[in-house]
Structure 1
Amino acid sequence: MLIENMTMDEFVQGLEVCKTVYIPFGSVEEHGSHLPLSTDTIEAYEVGKRAAERIPLFVAPPVHYGCCRSTSRHPGTVSIRTVTLKALLKDIVRSLHAQGLVNFVVLTGHAGGSHRMALQDAGEELIQELPAINMAVVTEYELAKETGAHLIETRGDAHAGEIETSRIMHSHPHLVKGTAPAEYPNFPVGILVRDKRSFWPGGVWGDPGKASAEKGKVLESLVADKVVELVKSLESRHW
C-alpha cells in the first residue's frame, strides 16, 4: 500500500488489515560518475514496494535527504544536519501514529555513520515518548551485504560499487551511465579532513565493473525478504 497513491478512504480501509508502516530514507548524494544522486532513495523505496507485494504493509513516501559527511564536497551531494534528520523522522512517526499506525520500520538506503546514528537516536526517543509503538531502524546496505554475501565478488564493497550498481542496473537501468573504475579510498585515521574529495576523487568504494542486473534483482528480493521477516517480528509482540 503506497501511501502517496492512496485516497483517504483507501487509507482507512488499509488500517483495517495493517497497522505497520515502512518509512524509507535515502539521500541526494554522489554515487560515482555512473549512478544517479538518488541511488540510496531508489534502493530503499524499491525494497519497500517488493515487501508490500508479499504482506500487508503501508509504504510511506521516501525522505530524499540525509546527512552526508564523507561525500559533502562531491558535486551534487545535498546534506542536511543530523538535528534536521531526527526532527523529520520524529514528526513523520508522530503524525502516522496519530492516524492509527503503531509499528514503524525505518529503513535507510544511506549508510553514513552520523546519518544512521541520528535515525537510531530519534527512534530511541520515540519509543520513550510513545509507549504504544514498536519501532525498528535498519540500514539497507547492511541487509544487502548480509543476505547477498554469496553473490558479491568485491571484498569491502561499500558505495557505488558492485552492490549498488547492480541494484540500479536492475530497477532503473535507464539511470545507469556506464560504469566507473574500482576505487578504495583511504582516509587518515582520526583526522577530520576538510577536503574529503582529495582522498576520494571518484566517489566509488568498491568495483562497479563486477555489477550485473541479475545480481541486483536477487539482492533486491533478498533484502525484501529480510524486511518481511522484520515486520513479522515487530508485529509479533510489544517490544
Structure 2
Amino acid sequence: MIIEEMTMDEFAAGVERTRTVFIPFGSVEEHGSHLPLSTDTIQAYEVGKKAALQIPLFVAPPIHYGNCRSTARHPGTISITTTTLKYLLKDIVIYLRNHGLRSFIVLTGHAGGAHRMALQDAGEELITEFADIRMAVVTEFELASREGAPIVETDGDSHAGEIETSRILHTHPHLVKGSGVREFPHFPPGGILVRDKQKYWPGGVWGDPTKATADKGRRLEELVVAKVVELARKLEAFDW
C-alpha cells in the first residue's frame, strides 16, 4: 500500500489490514560521477515497495534529505541537520500513530553515522513517549553488506561502489552514467577532523563500481526485501 498513491478511504481500509508502516529515508548526496544524487532514496523506497508486494504493509513517501557530513563539500550534496532529521521522523510517526498505525520500520538508504544516530534517537524517544508503538531502525548498508557477503567481491565496499552501483543498475539503469572508478579514501588518522573532506575523497566513491552488475543488484535487493519482510513479522509479534 503506497501511501502517496492512496485515497483517504483506501488508507482507512488499509488500517483494517495492517498497522505496520515502512518509512524510507534517503539523501540528496553525491555518489561518484556515475550514480544519481538520490541513490540512497531510490534503494530504500524500492525495498519498501517490493516488500509490500509480499505482505500487508503501508509504505510512506520517501524522505529525500539526510545528514551528510562526509560528502558535504562534494557538488550536489544537500544536507540537513541531525536535529531537523530527528524531529522530522518524530512528526511523521506521531501523525501516522494518530491514524491508527502502531509498528514502524525505518529503513535508511543513507548510512552516515550521525544520520543513523539521529533516527535512532528519535525512535528511542518515541517508544518512551508512546507505550503502544513498536519501532525498528535499520540501514540499507547493514542489510545489504551483511546478507550479501557471498555476492559482493569488494572488501570494504560502502559508497557508490559495487553494491550501490549494482542496485541502481538493477532498478534504474538509465540513471547510471558510465562504470565509475574504484576508490578508497584516505582520511587523516587519529580522529582528526577536517573541513574539506573532498580533498581526501575526490571521487566520492568508497569501493569498486567496476565490479557491479544488474544481476548482483537484483540478488542484493531480494535479500534486503526478505530481511524487511522478516523484520515486519517480528516487529508485529514483539511483546513490548
Normalising to structure 1: TM-score of the pair?
0.99
Deviations 1:90-136 (CA, angstroms, capped at 9, x unpaired): 00000000000000000000000000000000000000011100000
2:210 match: 209
Describe how 1:1-239 pairs up with structure 2 within 5 A.
1-189=1-189, 190-239=191-240
Look up the SS of the partner of 1:66 in the other structure: coil
**Partners of 2:18 and 2:194 in 1: CA distance:** 46
**Partners of 1:186 and 1:122 in 2: CA distance:** 32
**Partners of 1:64 and 1:130 in 2: CA distance:** 26
The code of the aligned residue for 1:106 comes to V
**Partners of 2:179 and 2:201 in 1: CA distance:** 17
Shift of 1:13: 0.7
Q: How many residues align?
A: 239
Deviations 1:125-176 (CA, angstroms, capped at 9, x unpaired): 0000111000000001110001111000000000000000000000000000
Look up the SS of the partner of 1:119 in the other structure: helix
Question: Is this contact kept in 2: 1:25–1:107, CA < 8 A?
Answer: yes
Shift of 1:238: 2.8
Look up the SS of the partner of 1:106 in the other structure: strand
Deviations 1:43-93 (CA, angstroms, capped at 9, x unpaired): 000000110000000000000000000000000000000000001000000
**Partners of 2:121 and 2:50 in 1: CA distance:** 27
Look up the SS of the partner of 2:137 in the other structure: strand
**Partners of 2:45 and 2:215 in 1: CA distance:** 19
**Partners of 1:25 and 1:90 in 2: CA distance:** 13
Question: Is this contact kept in 2: 1:169–1:213, CA < 8 A?
Answer: yes
Question: Is this contact kept in 2: 1:134–1:238, CA < 8 A?
Answer: no
Shift of 1:188: 1.2
**Partners of 2:222 and 2:56 in 1: CA distance:** 17
Normalising to structure 2: TM-score of the pair?
0.99
Shift of 1:180: 1.4
The code of the aligned residue for 1:209 comes to T
The code of the aligned residue for 2:70 comes to S
The percent identity for this pair of structures is 71
Look up the SS of the partner of 2:123 in the other structure: helix
Question: Is this contact kept in 2: 1:41–1:109, CA < 8 A?
Answer: yes
Question: Is this contact kept in 2: 1:28–1:64, CA < 8 A?
Answer: yes
Shift of 1:217: 0.6
**Partners of 2:100 and 2:110 in 1: CA distance:** 28
Look up the SS of the partner of 2:105 in the other structure: strand
Shift of 1:237: 2.5
Q: List structure 1 segments (4+ residues) > 6 angstroms apart after TM superposition.
A: none
